[in-house]
Amino acid sequence: MMSWIAFTVIAGVILTAALQVVQSEDLVRTVFWLALTLIGTASLFVHLDAEFLAAVQVLLYTGGVITLMLFGIMLTRRGAGVRIEHGSKDKPKALACGIALFGAIVYSIYSDKQTANAQISDMAGTEELGQLVLGDLVLPFELLSLLLLAAMVGAIALARKVDP
């Protein structure tokens, strides 16, 4: 019962916030609604006993990516006190696409027996996840970090105006 109430509240928050992300016309508010959406998703992960995923979600997406978005807004804004407006056009088409995507995701989950019958207790805890990432999958994991490093160096090289 408690679990059901918690799920309903979290789902409500996520849906409201996500709707506001596309509906809001003020860019800054959009970013804050997106942050709320991500925090809601993290709560959903906690609800499903995936605590590690939740903490990483908050730490990286909310604490990192959203903050960088705010920086982006700050650094590109012209003049003080100007509201940055943005709108979404052609809402019926967007709605149709959204419903189609939702249908595709639901179908792909239920058409596969393994995902359709998955239980929370089957999921790996933090320890198993750590063993997997730093054990069996250590090479792809390190390659990914190398890729990110290369991207970062590239970004700095591109953003730099003159060679020292």
Residues 31/90, Cβ–Cβ less than 8 Å: no
84 binds other proteins (CB under 8 A): no
55 touches other proteins (CB under 8 A): yes
Q: Which amino acid is at 79?
A: G
Cα distances (Å, whole numbers) of residue 58 to 25, 61, 71, 89, 124: 25, 6, 18, 31, 20
Tell me which residues in 7-46 interact with other proteins (CB under 8 A).
26, 28-29, 32, 35, 39
Contact (CB, 8 A) for 37 and 21: yes
| Count of residues that interact with other proteins, criterion CB under 8 A | 25
Choice from 8, 9, 64, 102 touching other proteins (CB under 8 A): 64
Contact status: 126 vs other proteins (CB under 8 A): yes
Contact flag: residue 162 with other proteins (CB under 8 A): no
> Which C-beta is closer to other proteins: that of 10 or that of 58?
58
Residues 141-160 interacting with other proteins (rule: CB under 8 A) = none
Binding of residue 74 to other proteins (CB under 8 A):
yes
**Cβ atoms of 58 and 43 closer than 8 Å:** no
Q: 86 or 89, CB closer to other proteins?
A: 86
- Within 10 angstroms of residue 44's Cβ, the number of other Cβ atoms is 19
Question: Which DSSP helix (H) or strand (E) runs through 65?
Answer: none
Handedness of CA 61, 73, 29, 22 (dihedral sign): negative
Q: Is there binding between residue 59 and other proteins (CB under 8 A)?
A: yes
Residues that bind other proteins (CB under 8 A): 2, 26, 28-29, 32, 35, 39, 51-52, 55-56, 58-59, 62-64, 66-67, 70-71, 74, 80-81, 125-126
